[in-house]
Homo-oligomer: A and B are copies of this chain.
Amino acid sequence: MVLGAGISLDGYLARRDGAVDFLGEMDAETSRLMAEFFRNVDTAIMGRKTLDAALAMTGGKYDTYGLVTYVLSRSQPPGERNGVIFTSQSPEELVAELRGRPGKDIFLMGGGETARAFLAVGLVDELRLGVVPELLGDGLPLFPAGFPQTGFELVESRSYGKGSVSLWYRRR
């Protein structure tokens, strides 16, 4: 399971209202990096609030980029709707089910509460972060406090686009 996200230098996934304008335009190099990442995953997991934010940003049409996409929700009834699969399973239950099937890697898309739920039970194997050179000063954190310390090893770091840095880690 790979937790992947674009974040500000102060660790925010989005502004408080869900806007991600600070991530900037998608240039050719960023597109290449993302395409490379997407080749290795076939399934995505996100929290319900993140889906709602994405729907609000796109006017109600969420693009799954070809990934089988699970949305964790306690409030929505389970089942497939509008191209995504709602589930009330715990992170452990969902991951156990997915790992029982053949396939590529799983992309954990966030948001922060969902990332914390998976980190809390030790299910995040890799981090793929794109850090943009902006301090936002406020927003929705990718790593809200409240999970046990987790050590990683650096696989690769490289700069790309307009001063962004791609950081790739694997859990120790």
Name 9 interchain pairs, CB-CB below 8 A, sorted by A: A10-B142, A10-B143, A133-B153, A134-B150, A134-B151, A135-B151, A137-B147, A137-B148, A139-B145
- Whether, in the assembled complex, A51 has its beta carbon less than 8 Å from a beta carbon of chain B, the answer is no
Instruction: Report, nearest first, the 3 A-B pairs whose CB atoms are least far apart.
Output: A154-B163, A10-B143, A138-B145
Residue count of chain A within 8 Å CB distance of chain B: 35
Distance between A128 CB and nearest chain B CB, rounded to angstroms? 12
Q: Please tell me if the beta carbons of B163 and A150 are within 8 angstroms of each other in the complex.
A: no
**Cα of A169 to Cα of B165 in the assembled complex, Å:** 11
For this chain, the copies found in one complex come to: 2
Interfacial chain B residues near A138, Cβ < 8 Å: 145-146
Q: Contacts A133-B151, A137-B149: A143 and B22 contacting too (C-beta < 8 A)?
A: no
Distance between A143 CB and nearest chain B CB, rounded to angstroms? 4
- Whether, in the assembled complex, A111 has its beta carbon less than 8 Å from a beta carbon of chain B, the answer is no
Beta-carbon contacts under 8 Å, A94-151 to B: 119, 127, 131, 133-139, 142-143, 145-151
- Whether, in the assembled complex, A53 has its beta carbon less than 8 Å from a beta carbon of chain B, the answer is no
**Cα of A146 to Cα of B163 in the assembled complex, Å:** 24
Distance between A42 CB and nearest chain B CB, rounded to angstroms? 26
* Closest chain B residue to A15, Cβ basis: B149
Distance between A111 CB and nearest chain B CB, rounded to angstroms? 14
**Cα of A135 to Cα of B149 in the assembled complex, Å:** 6
Excluding A119-B135, A154-B159, A157-B165, 18 further A-B contacts by CB distance (< 8 Å) are A9-B152, A10-B11, A10-B143, A119-B137, A131-B167, A133-B152, A133-B153, A134-B151, A134-B152, A137-B146, A137-B149, A152-B163, A153-B163, A157-B157, A157-B158, A157-B159, A163-B169, A165-B165
